[in-house]
A and B are shown apart, each in its own frame.
Chain A
Amino acid sequence: MRPDVQATVAFVVIAFMLTAYVLLDGYDLGVAAISPLIARSDAERAATMASIGPFWNGNEVWLIAAGGALFALFPAAYAAAFSGFYLPFMVVLWLLMFRGIAMELRGHLDSDLWHQFWDTAFWLSSALLIVLFGVALGNLVRGVPLDLFGYFQGTFGFLLNPYALLIAVFGLAALAQHGAAFAVMRIDGAPALRAARLMRGLWWVVLALYLGASAATFATRGAPAGVWPYVVPIASLAALIGLRAALARGLGFATFAASAAFLISLLAEAAGTLYPYLLPSFPAGHGGISIQDAAPSPLGLTVALTVTIAGSIAVLVYGSAVWRRMAGKVRVE
C-alpha cells in the first residue's frame, strides 16, 4: 500500500525536523562527548563548553519542536513510541536535564571542584545521550513488537540487541567526528589542534562502522525496495571522502559541512528504510504503524506544514543573523 502524497509530506516534515536536530544538537553533544579528549586544563574545558554556550539551547529546541510536530501529525505513532520506550525515554529526559544543568551551572562558581564535577557530568551525560539515541534509532529501523492495538512494551532485554548497540556505537563515532569538526572551526588554540588530530584517526573508525552498520541493516531489514536505499550510500561515501580531503587541507568549514552531509545521508537512508512505516513491526515483514494509518487530516497537515515552513524560515533568518554577530572563535583564557 503506497501512502498518499499528504501522508508522505507529513513524513518528510518530521524527517526534516529530526535531521535538523541531529545536525545541530549533534555537534554540541559531540563536542561534549570528546571534551575530555580535547581539553586538558580548566581553561580549555571552559572554552570547550563556551564554544557551544550560545547555541545548544536553540539546537535542543529542534527536538522539542519535532516532538510537538510528531504529536500533531502522527498522534498514534507519538503515543506508541513514547509509551513503548517508557523507561529508556525517561532516562533520556533526565540526561537532557542533567546536561542542561551542567552547562548552566558550571560558570556560576569559581571553584575547581565545582568545575570538575560539572565537566564530568557534561561529557558523560552527552555521550550517554548519543548512545541512547543510537539505540532508539537502531530499534526504530529494526522494528518493535507491536500488539494488535499498535502499542508495545520496549523492555531493556528487547531494546539492547546487538544491532541497536552497533548503531549506537556508530552514532557515537559519527557525532564525535561531527563535534570535533565543530571544535576545529570554533575554538582557537590547543583543543582545536587535538580535535583535528582526533579526527584523523576517528575517520577510519567511522568508515569501518559505517560499512558494518550498512551490512547489518541489510541483514536485519532484508533487501529494501526501491532504488533509494541503494543510491544514498554513494552520497554517504562521497561525503566521507570529501570530509577526509577537507580535513587534510585544513578547511574548517568544509570539514564541518562534509560531516553534516554525511549525517544527512545517514538519516535519509534510515528514513528510506522505514518508509512507508513510521514504526515497523518486529520481526521484519509484519507491517507496523504505517504513515498512512497515522496520517493527519488535510487541515491538520496544512496547519502543521505552514507552521513548520514559516517557523523554520524565520528561525533560519534570525538564527543566521545572530550567528553572524556571534561568529568568531572562542579563545582559551
Chain B
Amino acid sequence: METVLADRIQFAFTIMFHYLFPIGTMGLAPFVALYTWKAARTHDPDTANAARFWTKIFSINFAAGVVTGIPMEFQFGTNWAGFSRIGGAVIGQPLAMEGIFAFFLESIFLGVLLYGGRGRPTRFQAWAAVLVCLGSWLSGFFIVATDAWMQHPVGYAFGTGGKLQLQSIAAVLFSRWALWQFAHVLTGALLAGAFIVAGIGAYYLLAGRETALGKRFVRSGTIAGFIFAAIAAFPTGDVNAADVTEYQPVKLAAMEGLFETTGGAPLAIIGMPDTANGKLLDPIYVPGLLSYLAYGNVRANVKGLSAYAREYWPPVEVTYYAYHVMVGLGTIFGAIAGIALLALLLGRIFTARWILWLVMLIMPFPYVANEAGWTVTEVGRQPWIIYGIMRTAQGTSPTVNSGETLFTIVGFVGLYFLLGVLFLTLVLREIGNGPSHAAAADAA
C-alpha cells in the first residue's frame, strides 16, 4: 500500500472516532452548565437531579474524548513529519494554545464539577460548569483555526528551505474562514446536544418514567434544536459554502457533482456521480439553484470539474455523498424540530407519541451529519494538505512506512472498539438508571 494512503486511513479513522466525543462535549456542555447553575440557585430537587444526570453523561463523554484526543496532538509528528516541518511554525501555535488555554480549563474545572461535592451542586461547581463549557468551546475554536489555516492559508511567509514562518497570529486565528467555520462546527455540535437532550427526554416519556424531567428535556431540547437547525443552514452553512465557492471552486464542483461548467447551474437533490464518464447518474435537479446559492444569480456560470486538471480533483464520490448526506440530514432536522416545536407551542407534544418517537429516533443522526460535514471539508481539500501550497503526499514521514502504519491502525481499531463498547455500555446504563437514580447513588 502507498504510505500516504495508510497515513490517511489512520488519520481519518482516529480523528473521526475521536470527533464523536467532542460533538457531545461541546453540545452538552451548555446544558450541563444551565442545569448546574439553576440547581445551585434554586432548591428544586428535580433540577439537581437533572444537573447530576447530565454531568455524568458529559463526564463519560469527556473522558472518551480526552483519551482519543491524546494521539491527535502527536500524529502530526509521527505520521506527518514532512507536513510538520514545513507548516509546524504556523499551525503549532493554535495547537499549543489549545493545550494551555483550553485543556487546562476543561480538565481542572471538570475535576471540581465531579469531585467538588456531592448532592446539590454548589455555586463553585456552577462556575466550574460554565468554565468547562467555555474550555470545550475554546478547544474547538483552536482546532478549527488550525484546520481553517490548512484550508485557507493566511498570515504566513516562506522562510529558509521552504519552511513557513508565522507572520501574523491574528490573521491565522481570526481569518474570516476560521471564524465562520467555527460558527458552523459549534452550531453542528449544539444541534447534536439539543437533539440528545430532547431524544432522551422523549425516551423517558415514551417509556412512562421520569416524566417530570422528561418533559423538561423535551421542551428545552426542542426549542434549542430548532434554533440550531436554523443557524446551521443560515447564516453559518451558507457563508461556509460561499467561502468554498470563492477559494476552493474545485471542491464546490465535487460537492455538487458538477462535471461541466454550466450557466444557470441546477442543484442536484439526488444523483450518483459517475466519475469515469464525467456525469451525474439519475439526478433530480432544481434548475438554477446552484448558480443562485453560489453567486446569488440564477443565470451565473458555475465552473465544473472539467475546468480543472484531473490531478487537482478531490475524490469526487466521497465529497459528493458526504455533502449530500450533511445537507439532506440538515433539512430533515429542520423539519422534525419544526414539527416538534409547533406541537410544543400547541401544547400537544407530550401526548403525540409519533412525534416523541421521531424525536427519539433522530438522536444518532446529528452525529452522522457532523462527521459528514468534516468529510466534505477534509476529503474535499485533497490533494492538498495545505491548500495550494503543499500536497498531502509530500506531508508524510520519510522514516515511517505503510507496514508500520498498518500495524498501528490495527492497534487503534482494537483499542477504539473496546472503548466504544465501554462508552456505549456506560452511557446506556446511566440513561437506564435515570436522573433520579443518579442523585440517589451520589447521596449514598
Measured CA separation A57–B64 after assembly (Å): 12
- Known contacts being A68-B73, A308-B100, is A75 close to B84, with CB within 8 Å? yes
A266 contacts B by Cβ under 8 Å:
no
Return chain B residues, CB-CB under 8 Å to A61: 99, 103-104, 107
Return chain B residues, CB-CB under 8 Å to A80: 81
Q: Contacts A65-B100, A86-B399 known; list 8 others, CB within 8 Å.
A: A72-B92, A82-B77, A90-B71, A100-B67, A151-B398, A304-B96, A307-B93, A315-B108
Return chain B residues, CB-CB under 8 Å to A82: 74, 76-78, 81
Question: What are 22 A-B contacts with C-beta separation under 8 Å?
Answer: A54-B112, A57-B111, A61-B99, A65-B103, A69-B100, A71-B76, A71-B77, A75-B87, A75-B88, A75-B89, A78-B92, A83-B79, A86-B397, A86-B399, A100-B67, A104-B60, A151-B81, A300-B166, A303-B166, A312-B100, A314-B101, A325-B112
Within 8 A of A (CB), among B91-124: 91-93, 95-101, 103-105, 107-112, 114-116, 124
Return chain A residues, CB-CB under 8 Å to B398: 83, 149, 151
Q: Name the distance in Å between A72's Cβ and chain B's nearest Cβ.
A: 3
Q: Which residue of A is nearest B172, CB measured? A: A303
Within 8 A of A (CB), among B161-210: 163, 165-169
Return chain B residues, CB-CB under 8 Å to A96: 67, 70
**Structural contact, B68 and A97, CB atoms closer than 8 A:** yes
Return chain A residues, CB-CB under 8 Å to B112: 54, 322, 325-326
Return chain B residues, CB-CB under 8 Å to A72: 88-89, 92-93, 95-96
Within 8 A of B (CB), among A34-82: 53-55, 57-58, 60-61, 64-73, 75-76, 78-82
- Known contacts being A68-B92, A86-B397, is A75 close to B415, with CB within 8 Å? no
Choice from A78, A87, A303 contacting B77 with Cβ under 8 Å: A78
- Indicate with 1 or 0, residue by residue over B403-444, a CB within 8 angstroms of chain A CB atoms: 010011001000100110010001001000000000000000
Chain A-chain B contacts (Cβ-Cβ < 8 Å), number: 209
Q: A residues touching B (Cβ–Cβ < 8 Å)?
A: 53-55, 57-58, 60-61, 64-73, 75-76, 78-84, 86-87, 89-90, 93-94, 96-98, 100-101, 104-105, 108, 149, 151-153, 296-297, 299-300, 303-304, 307-308, 311-312, 314-315, 318-319, 322, 325-326
Choice from B108, B169, B408, B419 contacting A90 with Cβ under 8 Å: B408
Return chain B residues, CB-CB under 8 Å to A108: 60, 426, 429
**Structural contact, A71 and B114, CB atoms closer than 8 A:** no
**Structural contact, B107 and A86, CB atoms closer than 8 A:** no
Measured CA separation A100–B107 after assembly (Å): 13
**Structural contact, B114 and A54, CB atoms closer than 8 A:** yes
Q: Name the distance in Å between A93's Cβ and chain B's nearest Cβ.
A: 5
**Structural contact, A311 and B66, CB atoms closer than 8 A:** no
Return chain B residues, CB-CB under 8 Å to A326: 111-112, 115-116
Q: Which residue of B is nearest A308, CB measured? A: B100
**Structural contact, B397 and A311, CB atoms closer than 8 A:** no
Q: Which residue of B is nearest A110, CB measured? A: B441
Choice from A53, A69, A151 contacting B92 with Cβ under 8 Å: A69
Measured CA separation A145–B429 after assembly (Å): 51
Return chain B residues, CB-CB under 8 Å to A315: 100, 104, 108
Q: Name the distance in Å between B411's Cβ and chain A's nearest Cβ.
A: 6
Choice from B81, B95, B114, B166 contacting A68 with Cβ under 8 Å: B95
Return chain B residues, CB-CB under 8 Å to A319: 104, 108
Return chain B residues, CB-CB under 8 Å to A78: 76-77, 84, 88, 92
Q: B residues touching A (Cβ–Cβ < 8 Å)?
A: 59-60, 63, 66-71, 73-74, 76-79, 81-82, 84-89, 91-93, 95-101, 103-105, 107-112, 114-116, 124, 159, 163, 165-169, 397-400, 404, 407-408, 411, 415, 418-419, 422, 426, 429
Q: Name the distance in Å between A60's Cβ and chain B's nearest Cβ.
A: 8
Q: Name the distance in Å between B425's Cβ and chain A's nearest Cβ.
A: 9
Q: Which residue of A is nearest B416, CB measured? A: A97
- Known contacts being A64-B103, A71-B76, A322-B108, is A100 close to B84, with CB within 8 Å? no
**Structural contact, A303 and B66, CB atoms closer than 8 A:** no
**Structural contact, B67 and A299, CB atoms closer than 8 A:** no
Return chain B residues, CB-CB under 8 Å to A75: 84-89, 92, 163
**Structural contact, B103 and A300, CB atoms closer than 8 A:** no
Q: Name the distance in Å between A253's Cβ and chain B's nearest Cβ.
A: 21
Q: Name the distance in Å between A95's Cβ and chain B's nearest Cβ.
A: 10
- Known contacts being A54-B114, A69-B96, A297-B159, is A101 close to B419, with CB within 8 Å? yes
Measured CA separation A108–B64 after assembly (Å): 14
**Structural contact, A307 and B96, CB atoms closer than 8 A:** yes
- Known contacts being A58-B108, A61-B103, A75-B163, is A86 close to B70, with CB within 8 Å? no
Q: Name the distance in Å between B49's Cβ and chain A's nearest Cβ.
A: 19
Q: Name the distance in Å between B69's Cβ and chain A's nearest Cβ.
A: 8
Measured CA separation A61–B99 after assembly (Å): 6
Q: Name the distance in Å between A132's Cβ and chain B's nearest Cβ.
A: 14
- Known contacts being A94-B411, A296-B89, A297-B159, is A54 close to B96, with CB within 8 Å? no
Return chain B residues, CB-CB under 8 Å to A70: 92
